[in-house]
């Protein structure tokens, strides 16, 4: 078993640990989570596949297997995102939007998403929606350039921090579920009229809604939307990407920086997040970098590094 574990990259380790965590939650709350057995079986299969892929990549060492082993994690976090959708509300069926609204109002004396609405216009909406959507592209920009320009160890370092950051944000969703200001402070079904864009806003907005299991035509969308507000994963992960981009002096680092800046402002303008969510995202970002380095150092000291 120890030899098999030695084939794992840091991102494999943190993914397996998080899978075991989800399995444990489903065993504890099996009376609430209707799909608990299916989730457990799927997660056990996924763990086995991670071990197999790591073993094959390290023993066969073909470019295809090594590439699959390094890039599966970027898709895997979105699979986990949809899995916890089936768990968060049954396990913790309380929304904490009231708390975030109160904190924002205490900090600023207004509700920021309502205040910023006075500056809304289609051009700004289009810019911010494109930047918000670029969240899905930032990871590819980071991963591809790291993979092509640097060693496997350095790619593993970047991939680990990204995936580890995702999992930490998912813990926040379990602890403080919320739906966001587009549902609580605004009329979700009026977004198209109140924040119209130009060409790409509507299809991008629909794509993001679909990723959260809702649509603008679904009655009572607030009942079905994913509880994924605190911390702002968009803020946390965008900052991680920018940090890694500058750390490794990637050619795309300034593109990443501009997109990340617009993306973070866009979370408020587009009514996805409260400002306190962004503050939470910054705190989670700092904790991710600090604790992630310690975990990787520990892993390497155990002799499991790939270098």
Distance separating alpha carbons of residues 97 and 118, to the nearest angstrom: 23
Distance separating alpha carbons of residues 160 and 9, to the nearest angstrom: 8
Q: What is the pLDDT of residue 2?
A: 66
305 has pLDDT over 80: no
H or E stretch at 295: helix 275-301
Q: Mean pLDDT check: name the lowest of 29-33, 67-71, 236-240.
A: 67-71
- Give the pLDDT band (50/70/90) at residue 167: very high
Distance separating alpha carbons of residues 156 and 70, to the nearest angstrom: 7
Q: What is the pLDDT of residue 258?
A: 97
Tens digit of each residue's pLDDT (9 = 90 or more) over 280-296: 999 999 999 999 999 98
| Residues making up the chain, counted from first to last | 307
Locate the domains of the chain by residue range: 1-93, 94-301
- List the one residue out of 147, 143, 149, 155 whose CA is nearest residue 307: 155
First CA to last CA across the chain, in angstroms? 20
- Owner of token pair 């297997």: 65
7 has pLDDT over 90: no
For the chain, how many helices (H) and strands (E)?
A: 16, 0
**Per-chain mean pLDDT for the chain:** 93
Tens digit of each residue's pLDDT (9 = 90 or more) over 109-151: 999 999 999 999 999 999 999 999 999 899 999 999 998 998 8
Neighbours of 96 (CB within 10 A): 17
- Give the pLDDT band (50/70/90) at residue 87: very high
pTM: 0.93
Query: The tokens of 243 are what?
Result: 């940090």
Q: What is the pLDDT of residue 307?
A: 44
Q: What is the pLDDT of residue 176?
A: 97
Give Cα 41 to chain centroid, integer Å.
Answer: 23
- List the one residue out of 226, 279, 224 whose CA is nearest residue 112: 279
Distance separating alpha carbons of residues 253 and 306, to the nearest angstrom: 26
């Amino acid at each position: 078993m120890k030899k098999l574990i030695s084939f794992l990259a840091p991102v494999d380790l943190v993914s397996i640990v998080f899978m075991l965590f989800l399995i444990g939650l489903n065993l504890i709350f099996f009376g609430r989570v209707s799909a608990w057995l299916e989730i457990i079986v799927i997660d056990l299969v996924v763990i086995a596949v991670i071990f197999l892929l790591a073993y094959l990549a390290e023993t066969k060492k073909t470019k295809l297997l090594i590439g699959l082993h390094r890039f599966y994690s970027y898709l895997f976090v979105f699979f986990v995102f949809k899995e916890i959708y089936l768990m968060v509300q049954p396990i913790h069926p309380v929304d904490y939007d009231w708390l975030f609204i109160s904190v924002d109002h205490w900090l600023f004396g207004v509700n920021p998403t309502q205040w910023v609405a006075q500056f809304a216009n289609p051009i700004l909406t289009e810019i911010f929606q494109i930047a918000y959507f670029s969240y899905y592209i930032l990871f590819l920009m980071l991963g591809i350039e790291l993979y092509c320009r640097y060693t496997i160890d350095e790619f593993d370092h970047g991939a680990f921090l990204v995936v580890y950051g995702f999992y930490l944000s998912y813990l926040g969703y379990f602890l403080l579920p919320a739906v966001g200001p587009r549902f609580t402070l605004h009329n979700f079904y009026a977004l198209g009229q109140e924040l119209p864009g130009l060409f790409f806003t509507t299809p991008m907005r629909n794509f993001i809604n679909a990723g959260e299991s809702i649509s603008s035509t679904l009655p009572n969308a607030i009942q079905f939307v994913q509880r994924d507000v605190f911390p702002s994963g968009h803020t946390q992960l965008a900052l991680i990407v920018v940090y890694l981009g500058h750390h490794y002096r990637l050619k795309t680092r300034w593109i990443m920086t501009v997109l990340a800046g617009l993306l973070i402002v866009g979370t408020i303008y587009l009514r996805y997040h409260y400002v306190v969510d962004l503050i939470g995202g910054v705190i989670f970002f700092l904790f991710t970098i600090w604790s992630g380095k310690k975990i990787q150092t520990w892993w390497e000291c155990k002799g499991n590094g790939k270098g």
